[in-house]
Amino acid sequence: MAPEIQRKLTTILAADAEGYSRAMATDEPGTIADLRASRSVFSRLIERHAGRIANTAGDGLISEFSSVVEAVQCAVEVQSELQGRSDAALRFRIGIHLGDVIVDGADLLGDGVNLAARLQTMAKPGGILISARSMIRCTAS
Amino acid sequence: MAPEIQRKLTTILAADAEGYSRAMATDEPGTIADLRASRSVFSRLIERHAGRIANTAGDGLISEFSSVVEAVQCAVEVQSELQGRSDAALRFRIGIHLGDVIVDGADLLGDGVNLAARLQTMAKPGGILISARSMIRCTAS
């Protein structure tokens, strides 16, 4: 009697901040303020690109887009805006992957999400890492 | 004009599964079923010990308790029940810390949460790691 698993193909954008725990240990109010300001930039630009935030946990964020192009444009704009802020101490890594996910209420689970998160860990702080599969879709469109 | 920061002292229980991404890549439906079954054990026992789930993200879970003793008892019962399940493939690490946190809607942020999460990463799979500060409270009560 396994519960039904609902799948879909979507573009996942995973983001996480470099040195978040260290920053929080050093300057908690400043890091909270920075995190909130960064989340607000993510929210605004994800919405502008017709994406949706599926989950946030600490400095981590999982979002999805119906188009790889929109996800990539969103990521570029987020990094550009965050890097333009003189007060921003947190630098985010972003991973983008087009993959199969499992819908879990408003949240997303599955290997596709984990792959996006793994790409994110390999991105440079302030940078974006896009899976080859997503790139093919991006350049083909 | 920094937004107000609401703090409180609470006992944080952080949990995460060993080898979750690998399990998901190998057997996605089985891992999803296992994750859902494990989350249901956590939910039931956290509620029984008057705790509250603040956040879940993938295999990660952050919860809080008003008492260190309840948090520790909950963790022991969770690990005992999960280990008694013959079908359970995921093994959880649990970290418990009594600390100052920042209330962010229903979620919790701050150094206290990050410390609980760091303890969790250092726990053995199937085990529980409790910060010295929490232990003092636990044995004193």
pLDDT tens across A30-71, in order?
999 999 999 999 999 999 999 999 999 999 999 999 999 999
Task: Tell me whether residue B1 is in a domain.
Answer: no
pTM of structure: 0.89
Q: Look at residue B3 in the predicted model and tell me its pLDDT.
A: 62
pLDDT > 70? residue B7: yes
Report yes or no: B20 at the A interface, CB cutoff 8 Å: yes
> Domain of B99: which CATH number?
3.30.70.1230
* Residue A1 is assigned to a structural domain of this protein: no
Answer whether residue B127 is part of any domain.
yes
Please give the interface size between A and B, counted as residue pairs whose CB atoms are below 8 Å apart. 69
Domain contains B103: yes
Domain that holds residue B93: 6-140
With 0-12 / 13-18 / 19 or more C-beta atoms within 10 angstroms meaning exposed / middle / buried, residue B132 is exposed
Residues of chain A neighbouring B116 (CB-CB closer than 8 A): none
SS3 string, chain A, reads CCCCCEEEEEEEEEEEECCHHHHHHHCHHHHHHHHHHHHHHHHHHHHHCCCEEEEEECCEEEEEECCHHHHHHHHHHHHHHHHHCCCCCCCEEEEEEEEEEEEECCEEECHHHHHHHHHHHHCCCCCEEECHHHHHHHHHC
pLDDT in tens, A67-120: 999 999 999 999 999 998 877 789 999 999 999 999 999 999 999 999 999 999
Total count of domains within chain B: 1
> B21, A114: Cβ pair inside 8 Å?
yes
A105: contact with B, CB 8 A cutoff: no
Is residue A69 situated within a structural domain?
yes
Is residue B21, in this structure, part of any structural domain at all?
yes
Of B58, B107, B114, the CB nearest to A109: B58
B47 found inside a domain = yes
Burial of A107 (0-12, 13-18, 19+ CB in 10 A): middle
CB distance A15 to A55 below 8 Å: no
